[in-house]
Chain A
Amino acid sequence: DAGVTQSPTHLIKTRGQQVTLRCSPISGHKSVSWYQQVLGQGPQFIFQYYEKEERGRGNFPDRFSARQFPNYSSELNVNALLLGDSALYLCASSLDGTPIAKETQYFGPGTRLLVL
């Protein structure tokens, strides 16, 4: 079975532009979470979606938005890009994602975004 897939693998944008990152979860997984990892730091939580609804949001500005589709894939959008948005964007999928479930999040390879 394929793991979590993300596209594109690399992306170069200029300040002020907009970017869309895509994620397909493991087959059968219904929850997708997005994380931002700046070089040399641990990942930071951005969003979680479960059954197409936002389940959680981290401390990120409104320039960041996301959505989940009926097939459970997800997109992360970032508007008005800043230099500080340069990072590895990670997608993680889990089976359920509810507060009660004791389950593991599995990460994709990430999308490396460079903002010039």
Chain B
Amino acid sequence: EDQVTQSPEALRLQEGESSSLNCSYTVSGLRGLFWYRQDPGKGPEFLFTLYSAGEEKEKERLKATLTKKESFLHITAPKPEDSATYLCAVQALYNAGNMLTFGGGTRLMVKP
């Protein structure tokens, strides 16, 4: 069974204080690993897709990396508007469809 574990569950940062969010996964063949951002009461907003170990992607203050067992979302010099829940999800090769298995998320709060 596919499993995704995110840590920490919650993270408080001061504006400008860089940090990393972790996503550990177990899957029988990874098709893709996805990062989403979710604001309270809204649907997840797509950030990145990573397909193979060693791959990295960047967008503004965010950088996602992937190894064979985990992914990291690095946040450089965060701003208050980066406050949100960050969700990690995996898609398995063996699935007939495109089902995503999500972790529980990391709630990030950035204080000015």
Contact = CB atoms under 8 A, between A and B. Distances in A.
A55 interface: yes
B98 A105 contact: yes
A111 B98 CA distance: 22
Interface in B57-112: 87, 89, 93, 95-105
B46 to A, nearest CB: 5
Contacts of A109: 42-43
A105 B43 CA distance: 12
A42 B95 contact: no
Interface stretch (A11-19, A61-69, A72-80, A94-102): A94-102
B100 A43 contact: yes
Interface residues of B, number: 28
A50 B104 CA distance: 27
A108 to B, nearest CB: 5
Give 6 nearest A-B pairs by CB, closest first: A42-B102, A56-B97, A55-B97, A107-B43, A48-B97, A45-B99
Interface of A: 4, 31, 33, 35, 40-45, 48, 50, 55-56, 58, 88, 90, 92, 94, 97-99, 101-110, 112
Given A31-B97, A104-B34, 16 more contacts: A33-B98, A33-B99, A40-B104, A42-B4, A43-B87, A45-B100, A48-B98, A55-B97, A88-B41, A90-B43, A94-B98, A99-B31, A102-B32, A103-B98, A104-B46, A109-B43
